[in-house]
Amino acid sequence: MPQRKTFSCKKSNQKTVNPVGIFTLSIPKENPYNALFNPKGYNFFNMPMSEFKNILSVIIKLESDIRISKGGEGARPDEFSYQLNRVYNAIGNSYFNGKLNISCYFLKRVEEAKEMIGEDCISFIHTHNTISELYNTVLQLTSEEGFRAIQNKALTHLKEQQAFA
């Protein structure tokens, strides 16, 4: 019987982890994207899954609002929007007590998918590729650069909406 590998993510030291997306500019108090503009930033290394789901929902709404404002109600989602929805669906029924490292959670799913290799090659390839794509999207969302890009996109969209109001 093959020995099962145990997976572990290193526990990050909260004192040395800098929050991502610290926001210091002023924004309209009433906007649908407030969850993206936290003056304290976000610690994706130690976050409740419910908070990540909320942030993800707001990003999905932002992407949808931008798409509709540019292409109308029938505008098709781009690849990024598609991946965001896939990440949200992957955690949609997940309930956790406490906090976790968001990226590590998805990396663990990638590692678990690797264990399927001996079972069914086609299923393994499909599952591993799918989970790896989700993991890469999460890495993009939780990086300083990626989260800043989302914040800037939200600011630009809010300014465009105010210009037309």
- What is the pTM (predicted TM-score) of this model? 0.83
Closest by CA to 47, choosing from 140, 111, 142, is 142
pLDDT at residue 111, rounded to an integer: 84
- Summarize pLDDT for 1-46 with one digit per residue, the tens: 344 444 456 655 555 578 999 998 888 777 899 999 999 999 999 9
How does the average pLDDT of the chain come out, rounded?
83
3-state secondary structure 17-76: CCCECCCCCCCCCCCCCHHHCCCCCECCCCEEHHHHHHHHHHHHHHHHHHHHHHHCCCCC
